Structure 1
Amino acid sequence: MSDAGLVAHLRASLSPQGFPVRREAEIEGGAGDASGAISFYDHYWPARSVLAISAVRVAGDDIDTAVRAAGIKQLIRAVVAKTRTANEALETLAARIDTAGLDVGLLVLDVVSGTVSSAASGKAAVTISGKPDRSGRTELAAGDLAWLSAGDIGTPAKTAAPPDGIGALVRGEIDRGSSGAACALLFKARGRLARETTFSIGNSHGDIQVAAEKVRRFLEMHGADEADVTAIDVALDEILTNTVNYGFEDGNAHEILLSLSIDSGALTIEVQDDGRPFDPLAIPIPDLDADLETRQIGGLGMHFVRTLLDTVSYSRRNGWNVLTLEKQLAGTAEKAS
C-alpha cells in the first residue's frame, strides 16, 4: 500500500461511529480537508452520564500527520477521563505534547445535571446557547445547541436547531470552509442518574467481561438479588458474544453501547451496535424435543436469553441494531413494595 493509501485509511479510521438515538442528546459532525491538514470530530462516554465531544484539526497531510492525529484522538479521550473540566483537559494535553499546528474544540457534558464545560485552543471555537451558572459552567435546557469547530470551519449565524435538523447545519458550514471539523450537539432532556447508566465497550471478547462487571455493580447498587444478577449476566454474555463474533465485517474497532435503567423494580437494558443489520429474534426457536440428529443447529443461545428475561425486542434505528431487554427484578420489587 502507498503512503497515500495509508493516510486515506487512517483518515477514515478517525471518523466516529454514528451517534445512537438517545433521549438526552443528539449529535451530528463532520470534517473536510482541501489540503495540508487532517481533521476529525469525536464523541464518547468517558464516565457514567458524562459525554465528551471534540473537533480537531492537525496541520499536515502526510503519514506522520495521520499517525499523530490518531494518537491525539486517543490522548484526548484519556485526558478527559482523568480531568474534571474541558479547560483542565486541554491544559493537561498542552503540558504533554507539542500543540503547534493543532486546533481543538472540546466540550464535556453531564447529561444528568445538564451542565457543560468547554474549551478551545488554536484556531477553534465552542459556542453554547445555554446560560452560565455561578461556577462558570453552562447549564443546558431542552432545545439548547452547542457548536464546536476547528480550523477554517465557522460558527453558524444562529446557534439554534434548524427545521431540517442539525445535520444540515453541520453540512452547510463544512461546505463553506476549506479545512477543519465541526460538531453540533442538541440537548433534548436530562438523564436520571439514580436509576440510569450508560457506558460503551469495544468489540473484543475481553470487553465482554468489562461489561459484565459494570452491569453487576449497577444491579447490586439497586438491590438486585443474586439470581437476577446471574440471569442478566448469562443473557448479556450470549448477546455480546454473538455481536463481537458476527456483527462486524470490516475488521475495524467499534464501540457497543449499553444503557441500563430501573423503574419500580423493572430493569431495561438497551444493547446498541452499528454492525450489519441483524435481528437475533428472527432465528427460529429450536425444537428441544427433537432428536439430536434431526435438531436444527443454532438458536439455542437466544432461546435461553428469552427464558431468562421477560421481554426481548429488536429494532434498527439510525444505522444501529438495538436489542431491548426487560426483566422484573425480584429483589428490587420486594424492596419497593
Structure 2
Amino acid sequence: MAVSDEALVAHLRASLSPQRFPVRREAELEGGAGDGRGSISFYDHHWPARSVLAISTARVAGGDIDAALRATGLRQLLRAVVATTLSAGQALEALAAHVDTAGLDIGLLVLDVVSGKVSYAARGKAAVTISGRTNQREMVSGDVAWLAAGDIDPPKATAPSKDIAGLIRDGIDRSRSGAACALLFKTPGRLAQETIFSIGNSHGDIQVAAEKVRRFLEMHGVGEEDVTRIDVALDEILTNAVNYGFEDGEAHEILLSLSIAADRLAIEVQDDGRPFDPLGIPEPDLDADLESRQIGGLGMHFVRTLLDRVSYCRRNGWNVLSIEKQLASRTDRAS
C-alpha cells in the first residue's frame, strides 16, 4: 500500500508538537502553531542544562515533504546548538553556519529560571520581546516573554499575565501561518535546596532517575535509610507511569522536581500520559493468599508505608503525584 506525501507531511507536522508544558513554580508557558499551505510552523521548549529553559518558534517555507523533513531536522539541530552554547544569539549564529537559513523564520529565548538571566534572538520574519521591552538581559517576576515566527504579530499592549493561553489563541487566529509562545516568569527557583530534571518514559530511564535522586539526597546529607526508602518508593511510582501511562508508543518526558526544607523532602512526579491515579488502586488484603490479591495494590501499599504523604491530581493535562517524607535529622542519626 502506497503512502501519500500528504499523509507523511501530516504525520511529520504532528511530531513537531512538543509535550504540553507542565505547571511549574518558576514559569508558565503556552504555545501554538498555525500553518498555511505554503509553510510548516512549530514551537518547542526543552531544558538544555540544569535550570536553563530554551523556547523557540519557527516557520519553514514550503508545505511539501521536503519542507516537513527540513522542519524536523531544524528542530533537532536547534536543540543541539542551544545545548552547546546556552546563548540564543550564538545558537542562531551556529545554526546559520550549518544550514541554509533562507526561508526560515526563527525566534529563540534562553532563560536561567534561577537567576533570571535571559538571552534572545530572531532571524527572518520573527520577533522576541519581554513585557513590551527590548534588549532585556534579565527577567523579573511577572515578566511575560513573547516569541513569534511568521505572520503572527506581537501583542500591541503588555501581555496579560493571567491569560497567556488566550494571547496565543488570539495571535494564531489572526495570522495566516506561523508559531508563537508566551512565557510568564514567576518566582525564581532556589538552586541549593531544589532540583528539577526530566527522564524518558522507558524502563532504562528509571535507573537514571534513581541515580540523580540519590546524588541530590546525598549532597544534602540525607541518611542511607531514608535514601533507600525513597528509592524503593520512586521505583514503584515511575514503573507505574512507564507501564500504564502512555498508549501512543511515542517518546515522552517525565518531570521530577525535588526540594528539601526543614528536614522535609517533597517530590513531584509529572507525566502527560493518560489520566491515571495510582492511589485509586484498592488497598491489598494482606491476609489473602497471593493468587487472590489485587495486582498492583501491594506496590502502592508499600509506597504509602514508606512515605508520610502521597497525593494525586490531574493538572493542565498532566498527572501529578506529590510525595513527602520527613527526613531523620543529623542529630537523630547520630544518637
TM-score by length of 2: 0.94
Q: Determine if contact 2:132/2:158 at 8 Å carries over to the other structure.
A: no
> For residues 147-166 of structure 1, what are the structure 2 equivalents within 5 Å?
147-161=146-160, 165-166=163-164
**How big is the shift at 1:149?**
0.6
> What is the one-letter code of the residue matched to 1:233?
D
1:297 Cα shift?
2.7
Q: Secondary structure at the match of 1:252?
A: coil
More moved, 269-278 vs 16-25: 16-25
Alpha-carbon distance in 2 for matches of 1:293, 1:244: 25
Find out whether 1:27 has 2:29 as its counterpart. yes
The match for 2:264 among 263, 266, 274 is 266
The structure-2 alpha-carbon separation of the partners of 1:176 and 1:285, relative to structure 1 and needing over 3 Å to count, comes to same
Q: What is the distance in 1 between the residues matched to 2:43 and 2:319?
A: 23
Question: Secondary structure of the residue that 2:231 maps to in structure 1?
Answer: helix
SS at match of 1:11: helix
CA deviation after TM superposition for structure 1 residue 154, in Å: 1.0
Q: State the partner residue of 1:64.
A: 66
Equivalent positions of 1:69-218 (< 5 A) are 69-129=71-131, 138-161=137-160, 165-218=163-216
In structure 2, C-alpha distance between the alignment counterparts of 1:155 and 1:130, rounded to whole Å: 9
Paired amino acid for 1:276: R
SS at match of 1:125: strand
In the aligned structure 2, how far is the partner of 1:108 from the partner of 1:65? 26
> Which residue matches 2:321?
323
Matched letter for residue 205 of structure 1? H
> Are residues 109 and 188 of structure 1, via their aligned partners in 2, closer, same or farther at CA, if it must alter by over 3 Å?
same
- TM-score normalised by length of structure 1: 0.93
Post-superposition shift, 1:278? 0.8
CA deviation vs aligned residue, 1:134-189 (integer Å, no higher than 9, x gap) = xx7522222111100111111110132165x0111111111121111000111121
Unaligned runs of 5+ in 2: none
- Which amino acid is 2:154 matched to? T
Aligned ranges 1:272-291 → 2 under 5 Å: 272-291=270-289
In the alignment, which residue of structure 2 is the partner of 1:6?
8
Identity level (%): 75
Per-residue deviation, residues 215-260 of structure 1 (Å, max 9, x unmatched): 1121111111222222222211111111111101111221111111
> RMSD of the TM alignment (CA)?
1.8
Task: Note the alpha carbon deviations across 1:33-83, whole angstroms, 9 max, x for none.
Answer: 111111011112222211111101111111122122112112222221221
Structure 2 distance, partners of 1:54, 1:326, is 35
The question of whether the paired residues in 2 share the 8 Å contact of 1:264 and 1:333 is answered with no
Q: Aligned partners of 2:294, 2:29: CA distance in 1, in Å?
A: 43
Contact in 2 for aligned 1:150/1:182 (Cα 8 Å) = yes
The answer for the alignment partner of 1:222 in structure 2 is 220
Asked if structure 2 preserves the Cα contact closer than 8 Å seen for 1:131 and 1:140, the reply is no
Alpha-carbon offset, residue 298 of structure 1: 2.5
SS in 2 for 1:118: strand
**In structure 2, C-alpha distance between the alignment counterparts of 1:333 and 1:61, rounded to whole Å:** 65
Conserved 8 A contact 2:257-2:269: yes
Distance in 2, Cα, partners of 1:89 & 1:229 = 39
Q: 1:213/1:290 Cα in 2 relative to 1: closer, same or farther (>3 Å)?
A: same
Residue number in structure 1 paired with 2:53: 51
Structure 1: 5+ residue stretches without partners: none
Q: Letter of the aligned partner of 2:320 in structure 1?
A: V
Residues 41, 334 of structure 1: alpha-carbon distance in 2 compared, 3 angstrom cutoff? farther
The Cα of 1:296 is off from its aligned counterpart by 2.9
Q: Secondary structure at the match of 2:63?
A: coil
Q: Judging changes above 3 Å, is the alpha-carbon distance between structure 1 residues 36 and 332 closer, same or farther for their aligned structure 2 residues?
A: farther
In 1, Cα distance between equivalents of 2:71 and 2:209 = 28
Structure 2 CA distance for partners of 1:151 and 1:237, relative to 1, 3 Å:
same
Matched letter for residue 97 of structure 2: A
Q: Is the contact made by 1:162 and 1:169 (CA closer than 8 Å) also made in structure 2?
A: no
Q: Does 1:234 pair with 2:236? A: no
Contact residue 308 and residue 324 of structure 2 kept, 8 A:
yes
CA separation of 1:166/1:332 partners in 2, compared to 1, >3 Å: closer, same or farther?
A: farther
Where 2:191 maps in the other structure, the secondary structure is: coil
- TM-superposed CA distance for 1:334, in Å, is 5.3
User: C-alpha separation between the residues in 2 aligned to 1:253 and 1:170?
Assistant: 26
Q: Deviations over 1:169-218 (max 9, x none)?
A: 11111112111100011112111111111111121222222212211121
Partner of 2:160: helix, strand, or coil? coil
Distance 1:130 1:124 in 2: 15
Measure the CA separation in 2 of the matches of 1:293 and 1:25. 48
Q: CA deviation at 1:131?
A: 7.2
